[in-house]
Amino acid sequence: MRDAVTSLIKNYDVAGRYFDRNAIDSLKSYFESGTARVQAAGAINANAAAIVKQAGSQLFDEQPELIRPGGNAYTTRRYAACLRDMDYYLRYATYAIVAGSMDVLDERVLQGLRETYNSLGVPIGPTVRGIQIMKDIVKQQLAEAGVGSASFVDEPFDYMTRELSEKDI
């Protein structure tokens, strides 16, 4: 797993180049947003259970067929598995926010996820929607907590939804 800094260094090292203006600007941006990234991670960690619970409630309100007989979240075991997975996505999104890199998502979340879900008959659409809902809740909570510009919060959630969605066509 790499962060924004080690990824940048690796890319320049492989090319045998010194940092150029783009690299310096990228590093500067990453370090300037460091405090906000850590604040965001702290806020997410402090509210993770509530975020997952609220996102699950909203998802099942929007798509009640998921919790009806025959639905993918029908039965207590399946409902709990859905919330557990949402918690995983939130936790790894937090790691990616701090790292400023999506590598952790590729390595720990997305690699093999499609195959696993397909083999279990888990629909991707509601998964994507649940991730989007969590992003909205996190952004709202960060705004209420006074965390400044937190556009970096979009990155891991959007990355997961994009990667899952593109492969579901």
Residue 109 gets which letter from DSSP? I
Pick from 157, 152, 159, 17: nearest CA to 90: 157
Distance CA 155, CA 135 (A): 10
77 is in an annotated binding site: yes
Pick from 11, 26, 24, 158: nearest CA to 96: 158
157, 94 Cβ separation under 8 angstroms:
no
Start-to-end C-alpha separation, the chain: 28
2 is in an annotated binding site: no
> Where does residue 16 fall: left (phi above 0), alpha (psi -120 to 50 degrees), or beta otherwise?
left
Binding site, annotated residues:
72, 77, 82
Binding site, annotated residues for (2R,3E)-phycocyanobilin:
72, 77, 82
